[in-house]
Amino acid sequence: MAEQLKIQTKIHAPFSPLLMEFTMPQPYVDKLNAYGDKISSNVIKSKKLDYSNNLVGNVKQEHIIEDHIWQEKISDDMPSYFQWVGGCVNVYIQTVLKRNRYGEVNKADESEKKIMEEGIKSLNVLSSWLVNSVAGDFNPIHQHEGRVSAAGWLMMPESIQKDKEKEYAGWIEFMYGENLNLINNKHAVKPEVGQIFMFPSWLQHTVYPFRGDGIRRSISFNVDFTV
């Protein structure tokens, strides 16, 4: 991506596929929450943007995110959400390639070299949606489409934030490989507002139910890219 962005990130490597955690700037969290609130409060709009038939979640509300939300700039000083996500995807892909090749660019093929040296050329958002979960809602084990997917959080019940729930309630858990002796094939994450995780779209994951009051609002998307 052409524009340089300040990206806050942290690597999670519990197994071979790379999970990368990004910190979503607060203005994006606020804008997406305002958008989510507007949909939820409007019965007609909520029905129009209902995305539940395309997803596996057993949850209260699942809404598709309209394209204009991705493209609108927050202010003159901040890029659009699309541009920020593009910067994150760029960091993610370059990190994956360098980690896989141990930094030895000469061992990579030409397309990988180009990404490591120049970054991705363009980004294509295949699908994106908001999920409003309440007590008892859950997502069974599933995977996504595309090449890179993300899951992040915009709103969280106090019971999850302040550890009033039993462990794993409301958490997301990623899974890879077999459950064998001395091998950990699961990685559970306690969700926090402003966190967003990127991962290979084929990586299986699940979201556990919780019992407390309030809404657990998440954002997810699937993307592809060109080099």
pLDDT tens-digit readout, 140-149: 999 999 999 9
Whether residue 1 lies inside any domain: the answer is no
Give the Å distances, CA to CA, from 17 to 11, 164, 167.
11, 31, 24
Nearest to 156 by CA among 12, 29, 8: 29
What CATH number is associated with residue 88?
2.60.120.620
Whether residue 148 lies inside any domain: the answer is yes
pLDDT tens-digit readout, 1-46: 434 557 889 999 888 899 999 999 999 999 999 999 999 999 999 9
For residue 118, what are the contacts with CB-CB under 8 A and spacing of at least 6?
227
Give the pLDDT score at 168: 96
Give the pLDDT score at 76: 86
79: three-class secondary structure by DSSP: strand
Whether residue 101 lies inside any domain: the answer is yes
Whether residue 58 lies inside any domain: the answer is yes
Cα 36 off chain centre by: 16
- Inter-axis angle of helices 110-118 and 81-100, to 10 degrees? 130
Give the pLDDT score at 103: 47
Where the chain has pLDDT below 70, the residues are: 1-5, 101-109
* Contact (Cβ atoms closer than 8 angstroms) between residue 137 and residue 208: no
Quote the tokens at residue 50.
């209902």
Whether residue 39 lies inside any domain: the answer is yes
Give the pLDDT score at 108: 55
For residue 156, what are the contacts with CB-CB under 8 A and spacing of at least 6?
170, 191, 192, 193, 214, 216, 217
Domain that holds residue 139: 9-226
pTM across the whole model: 0.91
Domains of the chain: total: 1
Whether residue 4 lies inside any domain: the answer is no
Whether residue 23 lies inside any domain: the answer is yes
Whether residue 139 lies inside any domain: the answer is yes
Strands 204-207 and 139-142, by their bridges, are: antiparallel
Give the pLDDT score at 4: 52
